[in-house]
Amino acid sequence: MTQIRYITFGLLLMTFASGTLQAQTKVNWLTYRDTVNNRFVMTFKYPDNLVAESIENGRCVGEKININPDSADSYVTNTMRWCVWMQDINDYPIDHFIASEKSIFKGQVTEKYDTISIANSKAVRVTLVSTDNKDPYRQMIYLKKYSTLFEIVNNTNGTDKDFKTFYNSLTIERTKE
């Protein structure tokens, strides 16, 4: 029988199993809170080793990057691992955003649709996987609330259990007038 022991050193968790040493960084989760257009308050949790920021019409979580102030993309300050993009519900249909994400792929794309609950509302989750191993995996969640379409995107190249924690922590509440 394999014996597993845990020893905690600050934020580093060491696991001893079968005579090998494995280091796992313990991540704490922070809460991001933002009032959007004086219409609603959005909150979500994200790991403390990442940053959460407002980028254009979205709120994105990712690794901090160095920016070149002379670059046209100087407003992008993190890798945008996960994003919550917001559009007026009447601007584009959801199929427009799915087609845009599919255009990234080169191989044959498999689409999987299911329904989940986020922020006390029903949402559609779309997972895209390509037959070409070089193409990224994509997961998008579409939620309509308060005349806004929220597109919650996992931009990592693979499934991400922390993404599930991120989107399950999302709350969207109307501001008090």
130 and 111 Cβ atoms separated by less than 8 Å:
no
Count CB neighbours of 136 within 10 A: 16
Query: Side-chain half-sphere of 154: how many Cα atoms within 13 Å?
Result: 23
pTM: 0.78
Q: Could you report the per-residue pLDDT of 46-59, keeping only the tens digit for each?
A: 999 999 998 888 99
Nearest to 135 by CA among 158, 167, 165: 158
Domain limits of the chain? 28-174
Instruction: For 6-55, write each residue's pLDDT tens digit.
Output: 333 334 444 334 444 445 567 899 999 999 887 899 999 999 999 999 88
Q: In the CATH hierarchy, which top-level class contains the domain 28-174?
A: alpha beta
Mean pLDDT computed over every residue of the chain: 81
